[in-house]
Amino acid sequence: YLTQLDRKRLILCKQELVGTSTMHGKNQMRIPSLNINCYVFAPQHTVPDVFVWLLSNNKRVAYARLRARDLLYSGRQEARGIHCGKIITLFLKPPGKRVAGLSVQAKVDVYLWFGSCFDVVHMLDDLPAGLRLATGGADASCPPSGLLCAEQQTFQLRCHMYQARGLIAADTTGLSDPFARVTCLSHSQTTNVISQTLSPTWNQCLLMDRLVLGGDLQNLQQEPLRILIEVYDEDALGKAEYLGSTVAVPEVRLTSDPYAPPTLQYSPLHCGSQPGGDLLAAFELLQVSRSVGQSVRSVGRSVGRSVGRSVLFWGLRELKKVQLLSVDRPQVFIECAGKTLRSSVIQRYKSNPNFTTLVDVIELELPENEHLHPPLSITVVDWRAFGRSTLVGNHIINNLKAFKYTPPPATERPGTAPPPKPQSTEGNVCVCVCVCVKSTRGRSTKRKKRTIADESAECVIDWWSKYYASVEKQLCSRCCAISLQLYNKELEAEFGLFNDWVNTYELFRGKANEEEPSDSAGGAYGVTRGIPPNGPVQVLIRVYIVSASNLHPADPDGKADPYIVLRLGKNEIKDRDNYIPKQLNPVFGRSFEMHASFPLESLLSVVIYDYDLVGGDDLIGETRIDLENRFYSRHRATCGLPTEYSLDGYNAWRDGLKPSELLSKLCRDNGLDEPRFEPGRITLGDKVFVGKTCFMQEGEDEPLESYEHLSLKILHRWPEIPAVGCKLVPEHIETRTLFNKARPGMDQGQVQMWVDMFPMDSPQPAPSVVIAPRKPKGYELRIIIWNTEDVILEDSNFLTGQQSSDIYVKGWLKGLEDDRQETDVHYNSLTGEGNFNWRFVIPFSYLPAEKVIVVTKKEHIFSLDKSEQKLPAILSLQVWDFETLSSDDFLGTVELDLHGFPRGAKAAKSCKMDMMTDGTERISIFQQKRARGWWPFIKSGELTGKVEAEFHLVSAEEAEKIPVGRARKEPEPLPKPNRPDTSFSWFINPFKCFFHLVWRSYKKYIIIGLLLLVTALFLALLFYTLPAALSQKIVNG
C-alpha cells in the first residue's frame, strides 16, 4: 500500500531521472548522479527498522537495530539489500542510555531475510551449502524450526597476538593495564596483562582446539567465521574496564592447501563511537588433520634492521600541577620497541624549563615493513623527595615514518663541492622611490588633469594604503603598488606549524572518557639540522592588532564593546581605555611592545574582552601563539620580508639586520659559504643572481652602490637554494580564530594581526609601524535642485478632471537619514515641470581608502557611547506629490553612488533610463568635485520624471572659508524660481487659470459652442428682422 507521500516521492524520482537522461557527457553526469543519490534513501522510510533482541528470563537485556532496506529482497541482485540472505555478525548493546565504558553484551551470527509474501519461497535460497531443514516436508512458505548440518569439520584456531597501540587511558595515571580477550563460538582465551602502557606488546599465540564448524569446506573457506577481540584494562579492585573491540577474519587453511604463515595486520579498535586504537595480530584457522603433529610457528615481525633514532630534548612547557604540587624536576622517557631512552633531569623547572643535554641516540630493531613499526611512547615524570616519581603526562606516536631522515647528497649543498660554471639567474629588482603621479601629455583635457591632481591629493600613502592594496580595496591603485601577504588562516597552518626544527607534542594525563579535559603540557622533541643555542634569550616583542571580525555578541542588544588584552608570561597589557563601542567588526589599529625571555615567556595570549561599565568584563575569545617555535624556525618568522627595500616612508625596512646581512647570516647558519657581492651580481655557491646594484639619488651626480635590493630578491627566492632552501615568511597579516573555553569548539570570531620579534643582542630595529586607524575626513556636499521635467501627474481636479501634481524633492545620504532635506512645493504642475532653485547642504565624514562614509551616532537615547558605522557613499533623491489631507505620494527615486555615477544628460530630452545601466560613462564626485546635468527618476522599472541637479563637493576647511546657505538663504542665496505656470488664483491670474484649467481641456467644445452661438444669433436676428423688412418692402413697393 502506497501512501500519498510515497506517490509524490515516486513522481519526484521519475522527474529527476527524466531530467538526468537528457544530459550527456561524463563531466556533466557527475552533478546529476549526486542529485540522484539524494533521492535513493528517503529520510522518512515507510518500512520500520528490524530489531534483534536478546532475552534473559523474559527480560530484554540487549538488542541490535538494522535498517529494513538493508535486508529487503528483490529478484534482481543489484536491487537487494546488502545484508539480505547473508550470515552477518551483530554486536548487541543494552537498551536505554549507553553507559560509558560498558562492554559488548553479546555477539550473534544471524541469517536475515526480508521480503514480500510472494517471494517467501526464496528466503532460503542463499543458505550456505551443507545446511538442510530440520523437517524435510515442511511448508516452503513458513520458516523452518531449525537447520541441521549435513557436514561437520574440526578446526584449530591460532591467534597470534603481537601488540596494540593508541589504547584508551583507563587509569588516573593516564595509562592502562591492558589485556586482550579472543572469543570464537563458545571458546574464549585471554592474553597476559601488560602493566602501565598504552602500547602493549604481548607477542603471544592463543590456541583453540577442536572447533566444530558446520557446512561445506569451500563455503567455510570463502566465508569464514568472525572472531571477536576485546581489550580490557585490568583493575586490582573491581571488574576489568572495557577499552574497545574489533572483529577479525582468519585465514582458512584446508588439508589440501599448502601451509603459509599468516601476515600481521592492524585492525582498528572501537569503544562505542570513540576510536580505541589499533591491534596488530594475525589469525589462522587450520583443519585438525593439518595441525596434528605440527608445532606452532611464531608469527612476529618481519626481518628487521638496526636503525638509530636521534632525539632532541629541547624543553617542557606549561606543565600543570600533579597531586596539588607543582612540577619541579621533570624527566622524559622515550620508549619504542622495548628500548627506553632517558633525558636529563631538569633541576629547576621554574627557572629554566629546557634540558641541559640536548641530543641523544637510541638504537632500535625495526621491521622492514614500515606498516609494522611499533609506536613510540613519550612519558614525562616528576622526581620528588625520597626518590619518588609521579607521572606528569604521556603521548603516543603511532607513525614513525614522519621521522625518517634522508640526508641530501653532499654535491647538492652549494659551496660544498667545486662549483661548476656559474648559473646566471636574472631577477627583476623593484626599487622603492618617492611616488609621483604625473598627468599624461598629448590629448589630456583640463578636466582629466584636475581629476588626477585631486585624486593624488586625497590619496595619502601610509601603511593602510599597503593594506588596502592587499585586499584590493584601495582607492588609488596608481599611488600604491606595494602590498603585503594576507593570510586567511593562522601562520602556523601556512608553514607546517613551524615544526621544521622540533616537534611539539601535547601530554595527557587522566582517564580518556572523563568529561573534564585531561591535563596537558607541551613538550618539544624531534630531529633537527643545526641545533640553536639552548640558553635564555632576551627578545623584543611587537604585537600589531589590525582588526577583528565576526565577534560573538556579548551584550543584550547583539553588539559588543571589544578591547584587547595581551598576556606573555607574567606580563599583561590591558587596552581597556581604548575599547570600541557597539562593534562586532572593530578596527583596532593598535601596536604593543613587550620584552620577553625565552624559554620562560614564550606563549603569547591575545584576548578580546567586552567592556562593561557595571560588573566584570566578559571574555569574547582568545588565541595563543607559540613565539619560541617561530623564533627558532628556519622559515624565519621573526620579522616578515617586505616585497621592496626602502629606508623611510610607509614601507621602511623595520628589521635590525639589512637584507645583505640577513643573507650572510642564513648562509652561516646553514653551513654555506659567504655570498660574494660584486657590481651587478651576487654569487651564492654555484648560483649567480644578477640585478641592479647602482642607483641614482636626487641631488647627487655619482651613483650609489647598494646590494640590499638584490639581496632581498635572493631572500624571496631562498627556496631555490638546494638542500637548505625553504620559504621565508614574507611581510604578512595572519587571521587567527578566537576561542572560548565556555563554548568549546565554537568559533568566536577572527582577529587580523602579526608579531615581530627582535633579539636584544642584535642591532636596534626600526621604530614600530604606525597602524593607527585613519581618521575620516570632513566633506560637505552641496546639491542644487534646479528643475524637474516630465514628472508623472497623480492628482485629478474633481471639477474638470485635469491631471496635476504638487511636486517637491527630497535628498539625503544613506546613513544620514536624520539630516534628510526637501525643497518647497511646486503646486499644480500640469506638465510635470517644477522649478525650485533649492540648495541641499549635507556635511559628512569620509574615508577615501575604504570609499565609505563614517556615521557616528547614538543608537537610542539611553546609549552611553556613540556607535560607528561605515556605509557606502550613496545619495538618494526622491520626487514626491504633496497631499494636504493624506500622506504624500511617492513618485520616483534615483540613487547615485558618489564614487561612480552616470554623467548627467545635458538636456531633459536626452535623459533616459538607459543612462543608469552599467555600460554608461561614470564619474566620481570625489574626483570631479562639480557635476551638473539631468538624471531620471525611476519607480518600479518605469521612468517617472527627470531632475536637473548640480553637485559640488568641498572639504570641511573650504566649507568654513566659503559657507553657503541652505534652501535660498544667505550666504550666496539662490534666486527665486520663475514659476509662470504654477500660480492658478482666479483673482490674481484669471486668464491663466482659464487657459490652463478650462481652455486646454475643453477648447474643442468651446470653439464649437461659439460657432453654434454665432450661428444661433445670426438666425435669431434673421428671423427677428425679416418680417418687418418684408412688410416694408411690400408696402413701399
Q: Which residue would you say has higher pLDDT here, 541 or 555?
A: 541
Give the pLDDT of residue 297. 61
Highest mean pLDDT among 61-65, 88-92, 793-797, 1026-1030: 61-65
For 540, phi then psi, to 5°, come to -95, 125
What is the DSSP pairing of strand 826-829 with strand 803-813? Answer: antiparallel
Band of residue 456 on the pLDDT scale cut at 50, 70, 90: very low
Query: For residues 893 and 715, what is the distance between their CA atoms, to the nearest angstrom?
Result: 57
> What strands lie across the sheet with 304-317, from one edge to the other?
339-342, 330-336, 376-383, 389-397, 503-509, 519-526, 304-317, 359-367
Max intra-chain CA distance, the chain? 177
Domain 777-961 superfamily per CATH: C2 domain (2.60.40.150)
Give the pLDDT of residue 129. 72
Specify the range with the lowest mean pLDDT, choosing from 139-153, 269-283, 311-325, 705-719: 139-153
Domain 304-399 bears CATH identifier 2.60.40.150: yes
Radius of gyration from C-alpha coordinates of the chain:
44
Query: For residues 508 and 397, what is the distance between their CA atoms, to the nearest angstrom?
Result: 13
680-684: long-range pairs with CB below 8 Å, 24+: 681/710, 682/707, 682/710, 682/711, 682/714, 683/422, 684/414, 684/714, 684/721
Band of residue 530 on the pLDDT scale cut at 50, 70, 90: low
Encode burial over 236-251: b for 16+ CB neighbours within 10 A, e otherwise.
eeeebbbbbbbebebb
What element of type H or E holds 310?
Answer: strand 304-317
Query: For residues 410 and 805, what is the distance between their CA atoms, to the nearest angstrom?
Result: 92
Specify the range with the lowest mean pLDDT, choosing from 445-454, 554-563, 826-835, 876-885: 445-454
As beta bridge partners, residue 520 has 508
CB atoms under 10 Å from CB of 614, counted, come to 4
From 151, 64, 61, 150, select the one nearest 112 (Cα to Cα): 64
Q: Which residue would you say has higher pLDDT here, 805 or 308?
A: 805
Cβ atoms 87, 128 nearer than 8 A: yes
423 has pLDDT over 60? no
Q: What is the mean pLDDT of the chain?
A: 83
The pLDDT of 167-189, averaged and rounded, is 87
Give the pLDDT of residue 100. 54
As beta bridge partners, residue 265 has 281
Provide the grid cell at 299: 608469527
Cβ atoms 362, 334 nearer than 8 A: yes
Q: Which residue would you say has higher pLDDT here, 87 or 733?
A: 733
The pLDDT of 27-34, averaged and rounded, is 53
Q: Which residue would you say has higher pLDDT here, 501 or 232?
A: 232
Tell me the CATH number for domain 152-291.
2.60.40.150
Band of residue 51 on the pLDDT scale cut at 50, 70, 90: very high
Q: pLDDT (tens digit, 9 = 90+) per residue, 376-416?
A: 888 899 999 888 888 888 888 887 877 777 766 654 455 44
Query: For residues 84 and 68, what is the distance between their CA atoms, to the nearest angstrom?
Result: 10
Beta strand extents in 848-888 (DSSP E only) = 852-857, 867-872, 874-881
Q: Read off the pTM.
A: 0.73
Provide the grid cell at 454: 585631486
Residues 6+ apart with CB under 8 A from 65: 49, 50, 51, 52
What element of type H or E holds 667?
Answer: helix 659-669
From 172, 196, 165, select the one nearest 511 (Cα to Cα): 172
Give the pLDDT of residue 638. 94
- Residue matched to cell numbers 585471554: 190
Band of residue 702 on the pLDDT scale cut at 50, 70, 90: confident
Band of residue 800 on the pLDDT scale cut at 50, 70, 90: low
975 has pLDDT over 70? yes
70-77: long-range pairs with CB below 8 Å, 24+: 71/112, 71/113, 71/114, 72/47, 72/114, 72/115, 73/113, 73/114, 73/115, 73/116, 73/119, 73/122, 73/123, 74/115, 75/119
Give the pLDDT of residue 295. 58
The pLDDT of 678-688, averaged and rounded, is 88
Q: pLDDT (tens digit, 9 = 90+) per residue, 252-296?
A: 988 888 888 888 888 999 887 788 889 999 999 998 874 454 556
Q: pLDDT (tens digit, 9 = 90+) per residue, 1008-1022?
A: 999 999 999 999 998
The pLDDT of 823-842, averaged and rounded, is 91
Question: What is the SS3 assignment for 61-108?
Answer: EEEEEECHHHCECCCCHHHCCCCCCEEEEEEEECCCCCCCCCCCCEEE
Question: What is the SS3 assignment for 993-1022?
Answer: HHHHHHHHHHHHHHHHHHHHHHHHHHHHHH
CB atoms under 10 Å from CB of 381, counted, come to 21
Cis amide bond preceding 971, omega within 30: yes
Query: For residues 541 and 729, what is the distance between their CA atoms, to the nearest angstrom?
Result: 17
Specify the range with the lowest mean pLDDT, choosing from 193-197, 548-552, 834-838, 957-961: 193-197
For 194, phi then psi, to 5°, come to -105, 120
Helix (H, G, I), strand (E, B) or coil at 928: helix
448 has pLDDT over 80? no
Cis amide bond preceding 599, omega within 30: yes
119 has pLDDT over 90? no
Residues 6+ apart with CB under 8 A from 999: 1006
The pLDDT of 639-659, averaged and rounded, is 91
Band of residue 943 on the pLDDT scale cut at 50, 70, 90: very high
Helix (H, G, I), strand (E, B) or coil at 899: coil
Give the pLDDT of residue 43. 62
Give the pLDDT of residue 291. 47
How far is the CA of 737 from the CAs of 496, 618, 749, in angstroms? 17, 18, 6
Give the pLDDT of residue 361. 84
382: burial class by Cβ within 10 Å (0-12, 13-18, 19+)?
A: buried
Query: For residues 791 and 908, what is the distance between their CA atoms, to the nearest angstrom?
Result: 12
937 has pLDDT over 70? yes
Band of residue 216 on the pLDDT scale cut at 50, 70, 90: confident
Helix (H, G, I), strand (E, B) or coil at 428: coil
Angle between helices 708-716 and 659-669 (to 10 degrees): 50
Cβ atoms 227, 265 nearer than 8 A: no
112 has pLDDT over 80? yes
For 829, phi then psi, to 5°, come to -80, 120
Cβ atoms 763, 918 nearer than 8 A: no
Q: pLDDT (tens digit, 9 = 90+) per residue, 568-590?
A: 999 999 999 999 999 999 999 99
What is the DSSP pairing of strand 571-574 with strand 251-253? Answer: unpaired
Query: For residues 793 and 772, what is the distance between their CA atoms, to the nearest angstrom?
Result: 54
What element of type H or E holds 366?
Answer: strand 359-367
The pLDDT of 713-738, averaged and rounded, is 92
Band of residue 807 on the pLDDT scale cut at 50, 70, 90: very high
As beta bridge partners, residue 114 has 72
Band of residue 16 on the pLDDT scale cut at 50, 70, 90: confident
Band of residue 136 on the pLDDT scale cut at 50, 70, 90: low
Q: pLDDT (tens digit, 9 = 90+) per residue, 861-881?
A: 777 788 888 899 999 999 999
Question: What is the SS3 assignment for 839-857?
Answer: EEEEEEEEECCCCEEEEEE
Q: pLDDT (tens digit, 9 = 90+) per residue, 983-1017?
A: 555 555 677 667 766 777 778 888 999 999 999 99
Q: Which residue would you say has higher pLDDT here, 749 or 371?
A: 749
Q: What percent of the chain has pLDDT over 90?
A: 39
Query: For residues 826 and 835, what is the distance between their CA atoms, to the nearest angstrom?
Result: 7
CA atoms within 13 A on the CB side of 730: 19
